[in-house]
Chains A and B, each alone.
Chain A
Amino acid sequence: MTDPAADAVSRRPNRLLGVLKGIALIRESTVGMIGMGLVGFWVVMAILAPVLAPYDQLAQFASATYAKPLTAAPDGGTFWLGADPLGRDILSRILYGAQRVMIYAPLATLCAYAVGIAMGLAAGYKRGWIDDVLSRISDIILSFPILVLYVVIIFRFGASGVNIVLAVTFASGPGIMRIVRGLVLDLRNRDYVAAAQTRGESAWYIMFVEILPNARGPLIVDACLRLGYTIITIGVLGFLGLGLPPPHADWGGMINEARGMALYAPHMTLFPCIAICSLVLGFNLLADGLREISLKD
């Protein structure tokens, strides 16, 4: 018979189980549950887009331009949500658009976080001139009105997926840095950090093992809000015609393409609007729910 505590140290706690337990906590908050439901819905839609979409996102039916919702398609199918000015099925385009936004928004946010966390940790933990320089740089970037910044960047480098990711990283990295820096400034004064210092741990170990994991709560909440915001940004750029290049479906772009006809064929703009709002709302509610839960404990 083995001592129940015998393998306590060698066996690490099951990470996956911990994560699942964390997700299960969201049940405590109704708002959070709704948010999770909305986000989950779109994640599933994005993954299953090729299966669920009745048509290819680029398939055009010249005879069915501006088709109203629930009308029959020329090939015998149905345009559940109608067709756009080029006669493409709106439902299919929304589903594929979900796929696109669900790739680019998290990717851009992730990149922004990598940069922001690295900068924030360095500034908050090392202090001194590094902090001064990084803080000044972020002040300058943050003083740009955000959309003006995007317009300038896209103007200079052109509209493409990679450029959008880079632009988001450049524009929101400094904001993340500020948050991380604030958290680090608080956490670095904890006794367990002093304990790590007095046993001669390296700065890397202290920043990434002692400090960063304990800052995760507020950062997860912020990440949800920022994801929502990034989705809006991608949407706005698409709407202004500066976003992900056509012809592939992009929610903001769909609204832009149908904008002129918005008044007499409103379904073409309405459905992408609902899609984008519900997804952003999902992330915002999720963030609210997570914050609520973290405050309770």
Chain B
Amino acid sequence: MVIFLAKRFAFMLLTMLAVSILVFLLLQVDVASIATKVLGPYSTEEQRRLWLEANGYMEPAVTRYFDWLGSMLVGDFGESIRFRVPVSEVLWPRLGNTAILGGLVFLIMVPLSLILGVLAGMREGSGLDRAITIGAVITTSVPEFASAVLLAFIFVFWLGWLPGTSGMTEGFDLSQMVLPVMVLVLYGFGYITRMMRASMAEVMQSAYIRTANLKGLPYRRVILKHALRNALIAPFTVIILQINWLLSGVIVVEFFFSYKGFGQLLYEASTNKDIDLILGCSMVAVFVAVGTQTIADIGYTYLNPRIRFT
């Protein structure tokens, strides 16, 4: 088990390293445009060259990569062009805000979709199953930006129950969280529900459920003890990987509702050609994603005894 963990961990670091090279190369090649962005379109050729030299952009890419990697490891992500402060100063608070949003989404979405999935998969083909399946298909067909528009129309414009933006200008306000969370849950729960349903339905068809039934166990015990544990193995990975999806989803939602989170930061960085900021943001996103993938793998192995002991 220790060896397995060490292996997974080493692989995670390797992936992060590979991705960091990829991202760095992808974003750093076109250095001339960065200077233009910083110094403005009316700067002279000479000014740009001097700026680039002063900021170390004329070094070979390898050197710059290691410099960047080294400073990043000690928490220095460079300077944001847009905000005129160190990247870490804007990045961490924004990430915290997104964590609050994501946490709320998971808190609601995961139990909801698991319960619905189990209910649907328990009796495949029943009316409840059909209703849940169709419901899940419909909600997954409504992208976040569309549901944001529709929900804002209903709750803000029509009913007037909720605020239309989530800027939190006057401190944290839970009512401003309702719409962003709703939008993300609505789009995300269908996928997990369908996975859970498929997994549950498959388990219910299996020979060992027949054994459990024909052993004369009460239905409750068949479901809770024999079916659920096996049925949860596959969706577990899916749920953890939803964190990855959430990092995409927040960009749209935060942008729409002007929520000061990580997604909006990334968006602003990209539209403002803020090179250090976008590097920092994407590296954080990748680290979170690769990290969750590792957790998913380890958890999967732990849950599944067939893998655990081989």
Contact = CB atoms under 8 A, between A and B. Distances in A.
A236 B247 contact: no
Given A236-B145, A273-B150, A154 B289 contact: no
Interface stretch (B2-10, B71-79, B248-256, B301-309): B248-256
Contact of B149 (A140, A232, A255, A284): A255
A156 B293 contact: no
Interface stretch (A21-29, A118-126, A197-205, A263-271): A263-271
Interface in A229-254: 232, 235-236, 239-242, 252
B137 A285 contact: yes
B164 A152 contact: no
Given A144-B19, A156-B30, A288-B137, A151 B251 contact: yes
Interface string A112-150: 000000000000000000000000000110011111100
B251 A240 contact: yes
A144 B19 CA distance: 8
B252 A236 contact: yes
A285 B249 CA distance: 23
Interface stretch (B89-97, B215-223, B265-273): B265-273
B23 interface: yes
Interface string B164-193: 100000000000000000000000000000
Given A145-B289, A269-B149, A154 B144 contact: no
A67 interface: no
B152 interface: yes
A145 B248 contact: yes
A264 B164 CA distance: 12
B137 A145 contact: no
A44 interface: no
B15 A140 contact: yes
Interface string B14-57: 01001100110011011000000000000000000000000000
Please classify how large the interface on chain B is, using the bins under 10, 10 to 19, 20 to 34, 35 or more. Answer: 35 or more
A143 B15 contact: yes
Q: Is the interface of A mostly helix, strand, loop or mixed?
A: helix
B209 interface: no
B138 A143 contact: no
A259 B257 CA distance: 11
A228 B149 contact: no
B157 interface: yes
Contacts of B247: 145, 147-148
B143 A152 contact: no
Interface in A134-177: 139-140, 143-148, 151-156
Contacts of A235: 143, 145-146
Given A143-B290, A148-B248, A263 B152 contact: yes
B81 interface: no
B245 interface: yes
Contact of A228 (B18, B23, B141, B244): B141
Contact of A156 (B27, B164, B271): B27
Nearest to A228: B141
B156 interface: yes
B145 A143 contact: no
Nearest to A151: B270
B286 interface: yes
B266 A236 contact: no
A273 B153 CA distance: 12
A232 B157 contact: no
A31 interface: yes
A69 to B, nearest CB: 14
Contacts of B244: 143, 145-146
A48 interface: no
A98 to B, nearest CB: 15
B158 to A, nearest CB: 9
B156 A240 contact: no
Nearest to B142: A277
Contacts of B237: none
B213 interface: no
Interface in B235-290: 244-245, 247-249, 251-252, 255-256, 266-267, 270-271, 273, 278, 281-282, 285-286, 288-290
Interface of B: 15, 18-19, 22-23, 26-27, 29-30, 133-134, 137-138, 140-146, 149-150, 152-153, 156-157, 164, 244-245, 247-249, 251-252, 255-256, 266-267, 270-271, 273, 278, 281-282, 285-286, 288-290, 293
Interface of A: 31, 139-140, 143-148, 151-156, 228, 232, 235-236, 239-242, 252, 255, 259, 262-264, 266, 269-270, 273, 276-277, 280-281, 284-285, 288
6 contacts: A143-B286, A148-B286, A154-B270, A240-B251, A281-B142, A284-B141
Given A235-B143, A236-B145, 14 more contacts: A139-B15, A143-B244, A145-B245, A147-B248, A152-B26, A236-B143, A263-B152, A263-B157, A269-B149, A270-B149, A273-B149, A277-B143, A284-B140, A288-B137
